[in-house]
Amino acid sequence: MERMAPLSRKRKTAFGGLFGRGLRMAAGHHHYFTEKPSSECRQGTVRYSLPGGQLLTFATGSGVFSKRGVDFGSDLLIRALPALRGRVLDMGCGYGAIGIAAALMNPDADVWMADVNERAVELCRQNWLNCALGREGEAERRVILSDGFSRISGHFDSITLNPPIRSGKARVYMLLAACHERLAPGGALYTVIQKKQGKDSASAELSRLFGNCDDIARKAGYHVLRATRDAKMGVSSGSGGSNGNDGCSGNDRDSGNGVSGGNGGGGGSGG
């Protein structure tokens, strides 16, 4: 059973810079949530079947999460997602499984993806193009290199998250709080976590942040949790990325295929 770092009593109010230099130095080696993996990039491919049977091929590589195949938790999360609308963000997208799946299953949704790991972002952009979801320029805009929400602006109707459990409980909880801040009123966070890796405490934390938390799918010790922001709650106008070229502002969909670029899934975060 993996032990999580204890949650600090002093909570941060700014949610950028969650996985930066200090974490890498403290860990002593590089993880999939490292910004610049130092390992040699050995690329490969994995195949994944969407609900409904569509077969996808993803480029993967060393230094990213679940490089040998879409992990069980991400797959459970994908299959538990309802129909999505509006602006959707896959936070910690890795090589793109969750976000690309969300974009393909919801062609009218405005999907974005983000990860702190440079290698994961490049693979995700490649997979976005390989899955015929948009042109190259759009992939570069919609798959964003960002440490947490530091380079992401605006609010979202849905956020998907396979959280980076190995980064520690405190950082995961800060990321949950950041997702709450960046959801539009009535928007929902969908996240997946194993019971042995802290599902009960994460559920309690989501209930504290959102006032609700529903367990919408479970299998083999994994749980998909949904937390919905109060529809009557306003949003702050100050949330925004540090660079106007990096933020997810506007409804910038590719008119050629009707699907906006995606920031999806499953590779870069995860347990």
Q: Which CATH number does 22-228 carry?
A: 3.40.50.150
Token code pair at residue 48? 């994944």
Structure tokens given for 143? 């798959």
With a cut of 90, say whether residue 8 has pLDDT above it.
Answer: no
The answer to whether the predicted template modeling score (pTM) of the entire model surpasses 0.95 is: no
Pull the structure tokens for residue 81. 């997602």
What is the average pLDDT value for the chain, to the nearest integer? 79
Question: How much is the average pLDDT of 135-157?
Answer: 93
pLDDT in tens, 206-260: 999 999 999 999 999 999 999 999 998 777 654 554 443 456 654 444 433 333 3
Beta bridge partners of 144: 114
Beta-bridge mates of residue 60: 44
The predicted model gives 26-44 an average pLDDT of 54
CA 99 to chain centre: 8
Q: Residue 104 has what pLDDT?
A: 96
Nearest to 150 by CA among 173, 168, 175: 175
Over residues 98-112, mean pLDDT:
97
The three-state secondary structure class of 120 is helix
Higher pLDDT, residue 167 or 2: 167
For residue 152, give the nearest of 185, 179, 124 by alpha carbon.
179
Domain positions in the chain are 22-228
pLDDT class for 61, splitting at 50, 70, 90?
Answer: confident
What is the per-residue pLDDT for 220?
98
67: pLDDT strictly greater than 90: no
For the chain, the C-alpha Rg in angstroms (whole number) is 17
Q: Classify burial at 45, counting beta carbons within 10 Å of its beta carbon; exposed 0-12, middle 13-18, buried 19 or more.
A: exposed
Neighbours of 41 (CB within 10 A): 12
* Edge-to-edge order in the sheet of strand 156-161: 143-145, 110-115, 87-91, 156-161, 183-194, 222-228, 214-219
